[in-house]
Copies of this chain bind each other. A is one copy, B any other.
Amino acid sequence: MNAILRRKQHKAELRTQILEAAREIFVRDGYESFSMRKLAQRIEYSPGSIYLHFKNKEELFESLVEESFDRLLRALNRLKNGHPQQDPAATLKKGLRAYVDFGLRNPSDYRFAFLLRRPLHRRPYKVHPAFDVLRYMVGRCVEEKHFRTVDIETTSQALWAAIHGITSLLIQRPTFPWVARRKLIDQVINNAIDGLMVRTDQEEETRAGVQHVQLSHL
């Protein structure tokens, strides 16, 4: 009776155990030298057993990607819900920084989510939910007149491009002679955002001043 339930649970546990081991091997040895047989040996099962949980190597890999996406998404949502009533532009900057930080702190997750080779004609990853968070943040900036009127969609995509650029480069090219990370990341984010802020015309000077003060205590 509940034996079948116990079995299901055990199977699920085994599945996550496989995933954990697989991720470890992927990360440590690189995608190239990962092998199903190595994985089997690691979890102390026969190679065939893995195929009871995953259709093939590709699907196993895909599951890892999915996992990493979820983690990134959760990190972003935590941030979005964490500071709901703050200045939206500040929150946005914080969000962008958090995105980059997540990538740098969890490079293997970021690799899985965005960088690793992706076979053609594969169902698209779910970047969308994660992107929604960004779109929402930009939208609030426009609504509350911190940004001059801009196309929310275009702006969101452009911002994503910029922060993905710096994140992926820092991860993928660690030997490049980068300047100090924080400085570089800030410059990318400031460059990308500052041009969007309301202009300091004569009549808007006051608000602009206030806004700068707000920004400064990020």
Interface residues of A (CB under 8 A from B): 30-32, 114-120, 124, 127, 151, 153-155, 157-166, 168-169, 172-173, 175-176, 178-179, 182-184, 186-188, 190-192, 194-196, 200, 203, 206-207, 209-216, 218
Contacts and interface: CB of A to CB of B under 8 A. Distances in A.
Contacts of A153: 179
Helix, strand, loop or mixed for chain A's interface? helix
Nearest to A214: B216
Given A117-B32, A195-B191, A178 B157 contact: yes
Contacts of A173: 124, 127
Given A127-B173, A164-B168, A206-B212, A188 B158 contact: yes
A124 to B, nearest CB: 4
A175 B125 CA distance: 9
Nearest to A188: B158
